[in-house]
Amino acid sequence: MSLAYIGVGTNLGNKLENIKRAIEELNSLPATKVIKTAGVYETEPWGYKEQDWFLNTAVALETELAPEELLEALLQIEAKMGRVRHIRYGPRVIDLDLLWYEGEERQGEKLTLPHPRLTERAFVVLPLLELWPDGEIKGMSLREAAARLKKEQGIRKFKNL
């Protein structure tokens, strides 16, 4: 089994229910088990500002799926839940990002690990820090990234799941 971290976000419909359903879907993947979920954060939009604030969290899971298989499964869950891609960084019922996969570093057209913009986004770093307090991505500790991003981006703790 390999450890992986998934970012979960939503800003359409019943946001909290969307997150709970996505976590249930992750836990139902073959050879995969959700082992921990971070608290939920309310975050301002990133990239495309003319939309509602998001709810975001991160999930730690153990999986036997290869990184590419896991990414494909995430895309299938998004489609099943009604994700439509119209505007880059635009509104979405659910967004699932493969942030980090144990032992994997790669840069490809479909999959880059760790996620290329992971340390640029408070809505990713703060929940991930809860799951991985000693985490380090490409020489930057998650703690350092969180301290910087909390000052730069709108984010507040919403609730624990």
In order, the DSSP letters of 19-81 are: HHHHHHHHHTSTTEEEEEEPPEEEE--SS--SSPPEEEEEEEEEE-S-HHHHHHHHHHHHHHT
Q: Which residues contact 59 (CB under 8 A, 6 or more apart)?
A: 5, 6, 8, 23, 26, 34, 36, 37, 38, 131
pTM of the predicted protein model: 0.93
- Give residue 161's pLDDT: 67
pLDDT digits (tens, 9 = 90+) for 55-104: 999 999 999 999 999 999 999 999 999 888 777 766 889 999 999 999 89
In whole numbers, what is the pLDDT of the chain averaged over residues? Answer: 92
pLDDT digits (tens, 9 = 90+) for 104-121: 999 988 999 999 888 999
3 vs 63: CA distance, rounded Å: 7
134 is catalytic: no
Q: Which residues contact 127 (CB under 8 A, 6 or more apart)?
A: 7, 38, 39, 40, 41, 56, 57, 58
Of these residues, 21, 83, 143, 148, which one is catalytic?
Answer: 83
* CATH 3.30.565.10 is held by the domain 2-159: no
97 vs 22: CA distance, rounded Å: 12
Of these residues, 52, 85, 88, 97, which one is catalytic?
Answer: 97
Give the count of alpha carbons within 13 A of 135, CB side only: 26
- Give residue 84's pLDDT: 80
95 is catalytic: yes
92 is catalytic: yes
pLDDT band with cut points at 50, 70 and 90 for residue 44: confident
pLDDT reading at 128 higher than 90: yes
